[in-house]
Amino acid sequence: MDGFYLISKSESPKKNTVLAGFAILGLAALVGLFMIVNTPNHESTILSQYKTEEQEFTDYMIKFNKNYNTDEEYLKRFKIFRENSAFIRVHNSLDKDWTLGINQFVDMTLDEFREIYLSNEITVPEEEETEDFHREHYENVEAPTSIDWRSKGAVQGVKYQGQCGGCWSFSTVSAVESSWFIAGHGLPDLSEQQLLDCGGPFGNYGCAGGNIVYGFSYVQKYGLTSESIYPYQAATKTCNTSKQSQKIASIKYVVKVTANDPNALMAAVAVAPVSIGAQADQAAWMYYKGGIVTGSCGIVLNHAVNIVGYNNGNNPPYWIVRNSWGSWWGENGYIRIAISGGNGICGVNMMPMYPVS
């Protein structure tokens, strides 16, 4: 306000008095105006709330590079964004072990998300359901209190599967990269696209879904070439047999870890990163920002990821899980999930396995 300049020493005392009078009048007018504006008026409160949310949505569109082609689409996405943002605010006010945040998926409904990014229900194939293969590979291992394979250089940077339900290929490839590293060959960057395009005869459907069991079956027969030779395209294409034949890494066999047993799973993770199934179509995953997920995510497996470490000394103890939704999702692309018995939170104990190179 200009009022402060009125006390300036260079001015004559009389002029100051006059100006001070004006200043007081001006201040009174401002206070009156403030009171008028602040009179309860629900219509304008709602309007200003709406404007704030629309500004948030505009910022969101810029940050995540969103373009909506029609006004209809814009309004539809804005409505979904407002509902999801409200859900996220409520969740974050409940003092849970994990927080949700505004990310690239907040303008989508759960149903849309499931359709685009996830597989249909993933089941362990019948004939393999009851048997543990090569359990001797991990069962006498004494699991340390904590382990993180990332710090050993055994895990590639987080990738982004795009609008393709090819999670199974990312989980398979990540496990093979790590097993190749553990076998002493260094860490390769291997091709998910090869599995999408060429893994069909083994029971997979490219971007329409697949299964880590069948992903590993393919790798056992053909091995994998590199990401640079067979780069990712986020769409299922025809298998390029000349690229397929340029093998970079291979596996000898797959260890099937005892299901629904967190102690067995910890011993296995102590030996190598482990591919798992999880249910990932709930808010806990979709809008995950950070912290340790302790519940509310179901056990119908529709996503495949990798456990690359754990901390059993923390309260609550947790798994470190690598996802394939880009590094801007969650904790730099990772999610921590509480260690628990039975099926595990989000079903993470249900279908663990890892390859050996």
Ligand X SMILES: *[C@@H]1O[C@H](CO)[C@@H](O)[C@H](O)[C@H]1NC(C)=O
The least CB distance from residue 326 to ligand X, in Å, is 27
Q: Which amino acid is present at 327?
A: S
Helix, strand, coil % in the chain, rounded to nearest 5: 45, 15, 40
Helices (H), 199-308: 212-222, 241-244, 262-271, 283-286
Minimum CB–partner distance for residue 296 and ligand X (Å): 45
Q: Which of 286, 295, 275, 289 is nearest to 349 (CA)?
A: 275
- State which of positions 227-256 bind ligand X (CB under 6 A): 240, 242-243
Name the 3-class secondary structure at 344: coil
- For strands 303-311 and 146-148, give the pairing: antiparallel
Closest approach, Cβ 230 to ligand X, in A, equals 8
Question: From the CB of 235, what's the least distance to ligand X, in Å?
Answer: 14
Residue in the block written with tokens 């804005």: 78
Q: Which is nearer to ligand X, 242 or 315 (CB)?
A: 242
**Rounded Cα–Cα distance for residues 261 and 266 (Å):** 9
Q: Where are the beta strands (DSSP E) in the chain?
A: 98-100, 146-148, 253-256, 274-278, 288-293, 303-311, 318-322, 334-338, 353-356
Catalytic residue list: 167, 303, 323
Nearer to ligand X, 70 or 242 (CB): 242
Helix (H) or strand (E) holding 224: none
Q: Exposed, middle or buried: residue 251 (CB in 10 Å: 0-12, 13-18, 19+)?
A: buried
**Closest CB to ligand X among residues 183, 234:** 234
- Measured between alpha carbons, how far is residue 75 from residues 56, 67, 80, 97, 283 in Å? 14, 12, 9, 33, 22
Which of the 8 DSSP states describes residue 254?
Answer: E
Kindly state the smallest distance separating residue 97's Cβ from ligand X, in Å: 48
- Comparing CB distances to ligand X, the nearer of 65 and 238 is 238
Dist. CA 150–CA 118, nearest whole Å: 25
CA distance 251 to 179: 8
Report the residue number, 240 or 260, with the smaller CB distance to ligand X.
240
Least separation in angstroms between CB 168 and ligand X: 23
- With CB under 6 A as the rule, give the number of residues binding ligand X: 3
Provide the sign of the torsion angle of the four alpha carbons 109, 115, 116, 119, taken in this order: positive
Residue 10 binds ligand X, judged by CB under 6 A: no
Q: Return the number of the residue (103 or 191) whose C-beta is nearest ligand X.
A: 191
- State the binding string over 48-77 for ligand X (x if CB under 6 A, else -): ------------------------------
β-pair partners for 277 = 304
Residue nearest to ligand X (CB): 240
Q: How far is the CB of 246 from ligand X (least distance, A)?
A: 8
Q: Which is nearer to ligand X, 82 or 243 (CB)?
A: 243
Write the DSSP symbol of residue 21.
H
Contact at 8 Å (CB) between 172 and 215?
A: yes
Instruction: List residues near ligand X by CB under 6 A.
Output: 240, 242-243
